[in-house]
Structure 1
Amino acid sequence: MKKRNKITYWSVTGLFCAMMLMSASMYVFKYEEIAVNFAALGYPVYLLYPLAAAKALGAITILTKPSNFLKNLAYAGFFYNFVMAFGAHIMAGDGEFEGALVAFLLLGTSYFFDRKVFGTSSELKIVHEQVEA
């Protein structure tokens, strides 16, 4: 059971982080095309480069887990990004909301299995205290 959870976590998280890194690279390398789409959704174009950096750093943070706080901050940032993207596409009526929905589902699955495989910070603290005792 634990092995299946780890395989599921790493598969889903790998897919999710690959999706975010590809998205960030498109923001940089296909700037003109993405800028037109961003403007059509009502977002300012100057957000593209900071959003690309945030997506890349968030994906790296989730994969490397430098601290629980940073990992959870990355998950939260992606959550708000996808909610806003989904809402913007629905409001624009362009029918392009599927990418945000898929990313949201991958994010939720990754977060759920992260908790199953690695536990929460409070659970880790209790285990650490038991080991020291």
Structure 2
Amino acid sequence: MKAEKRNRIIYWVATLWLSLGMVSTGIVQLIRQEDEVARTSEYLGYPVYFLTILGVWKLLGVVAVLIPKNPLLKEWAYAGFFFAMSGATFSHIAVSDPISEILPSLFLIVLIALSWYFRPESRKFSLTNS
């Protein structure tokens, strides 16, 4: 298998799993599922409106990553995903959660890195294609 084909497969597998994770958690946050509200507000100490902000930005980030063109927007989406998931990781660490609670956000960080690293040239930002 050629490296280019292998990279394309890695990119799409990582990107689709990342998108599924972001869409599913974004929807849970937007509908303010009872367990999610309790975990975020009572357990982690964040205001409930934070769920709406995260949910909207996750869904918009998925759209930005999946649509063709707009490489600068994709860079922002990847950065936003990284900040959200690293924030989730450290929030769980701060309240001494077990590793089982920390692993989902770590897994998404790995998917973010794989998707970003293996993205095709047409999806990369450079000053010449802006």
Pick the TM interval, shorter chain: 0.7 to 0.9
Higher-helix-fraction structure: 1
How much does 1:30 deviate? Answer: 4.7
Match of 1:5 among 1, 7, 17: 7
Would the aligned equivalents of 2:75 and 2:125 in 1 still touch at CA under 8 Å? Answer: no
Question: Could you say which residue in structure 1 is the equivalent of 2:18?
Answer: 16
Match of 1:88 among 79, 88, 91: 91
Q: What whole-Å deviation, never above 9, does each CA across 1:12-39 have from its counterpart, x for those lacking one?
A: 1001001100111111335222111002
Would the aligned equivalents of 1:62 and 1:71 in 2 still touch at CA under 8 Å? Answer: yes
Question: Could you say which residue in structure 1 is the equivalent of 2:116?
Answer: 111
Alpha-carbon distance between aligned partners in 1 of 2:46 and 2:30, rounded to the nearest angstrom: 16
Return the TM-score normalized by structure 2: 0.87
Would the aligned equivalents of 2:30 and 2:56 in 1 still touch at CA under 8 Å? Answer: no
Percent of matched pairs sharing the same residue: 33
After superposing on structure 2, the runs of 4+ consecutive aligned residues of structure 1 that deviate more than 6 Å are none
- Aligned AA (1:21): V
Which structure 2 residues correspond to residues 1-133 of structure 1 after superposition, within 5 A? Answer: 1-39=3-41, 40-95=43-98, 96-114=101-119, 117-118=120-121, 120-122=124-126, 125=128
Would the aligned equivalents of 1:65 and 1:71 in 2 still touch at CA under 8 Å? Answer: no
Structure 1 gap segments, 5+ residues each: 129-133
Return the TM-score normalized by structure 1: 0.85
Structure 2 gap segments, 5+ residues each: none
How has the CA–CA distance of structure 1 residues 121 and 46 changed in structure 2, closer, same or farther, with 3 Å as cutoff? Answer: closer
